Amino acid sequence: MSDILLQANAVAKHFGGVKALRDVSLSIRRGEVYGLIGPNGAGKTTFFNCMTGLYIPDGGGFTFDGVALQADAPHRAAELGIARTFQNIRLFGNMTALENVMVGRHVRTKAGVFGAMFLNRATRDEEAAIRQRAVELLHYVDIADRADDLAKNLSYGDQRRLEIARALATEPKLLCLDEPAAGMNATETEELRVLIEGIRKDGTTVLLIEHDVKLVMGLCDRVAVLDYGALVIEDVPAVVQKDPRVIEAYLGA
Amino acid sequence: MKNWLSPKSMTGIALIAIALIVLPHVVGMGGQAWVRILNFAILYVFLALGLNIVVGFAGLLDLGYIAFYAVGAYTWALLASPHFGLHFPVWAILPIGALMACVFGVLLGSPTLKLRGDYLAIVTLGFGEIIRIFLNNLNSPVNITNGPQGITLIDPVKVGDFSFAGTSQIFGMTMTGPQKYYYLLVALALLVIIINVRLQHSRIGRAWQAIREDEIAAKAVGINTRNIKLLAFAMGASFGGIAGGIFSAMQGFVSPESFSLIESIMVLAMVVLGGMGHIPGVILGAVLLTFLPEVLRYAVTPVQMALFGKILVDPESLRMLVFGLALVLVMRFKPAGLWPSPERSRELSEKPVEVVK
């Protein structure tokens, strides 16, 4: 088993004349928290979308866990073990928190139409297991008391947590979080840090896009910086923080 | 989870069962026409529940749903009538009809997978019309559907020697054809309702709902949206196909004009007016919208006579006017439908809860 979980090879993507990604190559190791930072419009979310199959890259590609990722097949990416959250939270608003997480189990379960119609033993057992796992995950992200509330009625911080629980329900090898701390206050950000630490400790690799520099530097094992769609540097936080190009492009003097 | 065995719900179930058994005899006192209307109400329950899978669960607006009803009806008509001289037994034709409709559901579904909302509605509307026009014109060069004349002398539902058409004696009781069909339809309806409830609360049902709520998020959690959408079209269409088959057998006659656009719109109105995505609501919508125009048909003339002493407005126009007005009023005052699911009524009646921290 290779040490590298995800390898991006010269990924390029442009929208009309705008080069959103210019041959970005980076590698994420198993078990680490990997930070991806950069100014607004640097191409971080585009990178995410290419990786999870929502966009088709114009050049290059990804190798995940030894398998070449097929472009434009988001459900395949989830099957292989890439789960993500969204910058602007995308929950199933009119479903309960519990149901949201239960949907996350879809890709790891298989009951079909006939199972549902005849409600045979296997289907009932699977359904019970789905529910139990979903409840466990709600406890894991600490929102079990909101299980029966509609997702859209949860507070902002709880919605972020629910989205993480739903992503974890797919049993990912790589969990990609797109600005999870956006709009959170200091306490919530700290709670989020603890949660991500926990996820890493439980064996899931985390890719983190984040603007909160303190959070990224404190949490990540390695950090990559994007600017104008190009990779500036990929290294441990201590080195990245001192790099003059990064300071100029992003961190400021 | 409700406790079905509690004394209270047992009493409820028993009362509903008695009402369902007695209903055709009570309604039959007003003439067999009313029993036929009752049967149509149940057929529309099938259709509305089928469409509810596509529109209510998966959120795909389908304006050509009646095409699947047509496919089911013509499948029965062609396989059990003198037209081709075929007389298949019921246990063979019903599944074939459902399967045919299912195939057409997938045929319609596949080119529309990337479409949503208005665009999807237009394409499905076109599909519904294409089927009707095909049925109208497939009488030459080879006569398949017999064109606008339709197909006559279609076999009734027969189980062994027992035919559901005509009056017969059962357990010493005289039962008319419509009354016998009623019991068959009620039995089938219960089956269809159970299947729908089970589907809704299954892994597949949740996937449909997820696609309705946010397709991109659904993809991101690993739902193969293409297959799951096609499954919704296929399942919805099969229910339409079964309803069409029974319609064919009950009427003994089908022609393309039974499958016009207004029928699709009526079924959609039943789903929306009853409460999209909520099975009891959809059933209510179907029953109400079948009965309302019929009741109006009988009420409009006497009411005008009583009020004005003469008939001022043509009964048929007035009937549709009142019917349309009723729809507008319901949608104005109960936008989520007459009997929406608890979540959906909250969604539309209240402002979303803004929690600012």
Q: What is the CA radius of gyration of chain B?
A: 21
- Is A205 within 8 Å of A32 (Cβ atoms)? yes
Cβ–Cβ below 8 Å for B220 and A74: yes
- Which among B128, B146, B127, B126 has a CA at the least distance from the CA of B136? B146
Q: Is the pLDDT of residue A203 over 50?
A: yes
Distance CA B318, CA B310 (A): 14
Distance CA A127, CA B86 (A): 44
pLDDT digits (tens, 9 = 90+) for A66-99: 888 877 788 889 999 999 999 899 999 999 999 9
Residue B198 pLDDT = 92
> How far is CA B256 from its chain centroid?
17
More confident residue, A153 or B116: A153
Distance CA B195, CA B276 (A): 17
Residues in chain B: 357
B344 and A CB contact within 8 Å:
yes
- Is B218 within 8 Å of A135 (Cβ atoms)? no
Distance CA B156, CA B177 (A): 10
Handedness of CA B80, B86, B92, B93 (dihedral sign): negative
- Is B60 within 8 Å of B117 (Cβ atoms)? no
Q: Which residues of B touch A94 (CB under 8 A)?
A: 209, 213, 343-344, 347
pLDDT digits (tens, 9 = 90+) for A15-27: 988 889 999 999 9
Q: How confident is the model at residue A46 (pLDDT cuts 50, 70, 90)?
A: very high
Q: Is B153 helix (H, G, I), strand (E, B) or coil?
A: coil
- Which among A41, A73, A38 has a CA at the least distance from the CA of A55? A73
Q: Is B267 helix (H, G, I), strand (E, B) or coil?
A: helix
Which pair of tokens denotes residue A98? 């519990």
Residue B357 pLDDT = 41
- DSSP E strands in A65-158: the ranges are 67-68, 82-84
Q: Using CB atoms, pick whichever of A75, A102, A150 lies closest to residue B222.
A: A75
Distance CA B63, CA B59 (A): 12
Nearest CA in chain A to B207: A103
Residue B69 pLDDT = 94
How do beta strands A33-37 and A222-227 pair? parallel
Residues in chain A: 253
pLDDT digits (tens, 9 = 90+) for A212-251: 888 888 899 999 999 888 998 899 988 988 888 888 877 6
Q: Is the pLDDT of residue B316 over 90?
A: no
Q: Domain spans of chain A? A: 4-81+172-251, 93-158
**Cα distances (angstroms) measured from residue A89 to each of A166, A182, A204:** 12, 10, 21
Q: Is the pLDDT of residue A151 over 70?
A: yes
pLDDT digits (tens, 9 = 90+) for B151-207: 888 888 877 777 777 777 777 777 777 888 898 899 999 999 999 999 999 999 999
pLDDT digits (tens, 9 = 90+) for B5-48: 677 788 888 888 888 888 887 877 777 888 889 999 999 999 99
Nearest CA in chain A to B341: A94
ipTM of predicted complex: 0.91
As beta bridge partners, residue A68 has A63
- Sequence-distant (6+) residues with CB within 8 A of B356 are A156
Q: Domain spans of chain B? A: 15-276
pLDDT digits (tens, 9 = 90+) for B215-264: 999 999 999 999 999 999 999 999 999 999 999 999 889 999 989 898 89
Q: How confident is the model at residue A192 (pLDDT cuts 50, 70, 90)?
A: very high
The CATH T-level fold of domain A4-81+172-251 is Rossmann fold (3.40.50)
**B131 phi/psi in degrees, rounded to 5:** -60, -45
Q: Using CB atoms, pick whichever of B195, B204, B220 lies closest to residue A78.
A: B220
Supply the mean pLDDT for chain A: 90
Interface test with B, best of A90, A120, A158 (most B CBs within 10 A): A90
Q: Which residues of B touch A156 (CB under 8 A)?
A: 355-357
Tell the residue number behind the tokens 């049902």, with chain if given.
B205
Cβ–Cβ below 8 Å for B217 and A90: yes
Tell the residue number behind the tokens 């040490």, with chain if given.
A3
Cβ–Cβ below 8 Å for B204 and A75: no
CA atoms within 13 A on the CB side of B4: 2
Distance CA B284, CA A246 (A): 64
Helix locations, B221-260, DSSP H: 225-251
Q: How confident is the model at residue B300 (pLDDT cuts 50, 70, 90)?
A: confident
Residue B349 pLDDT = 52
Range with the largest mean pLDDT of A42-46, A170-174, B34-38, B347-351:
A170-174
CA-based nearest distance A247→chain B, Å:
32
Cβ–Cβ below 8 Å for A78 and B218: no
Residue B353 pLDDT = 47
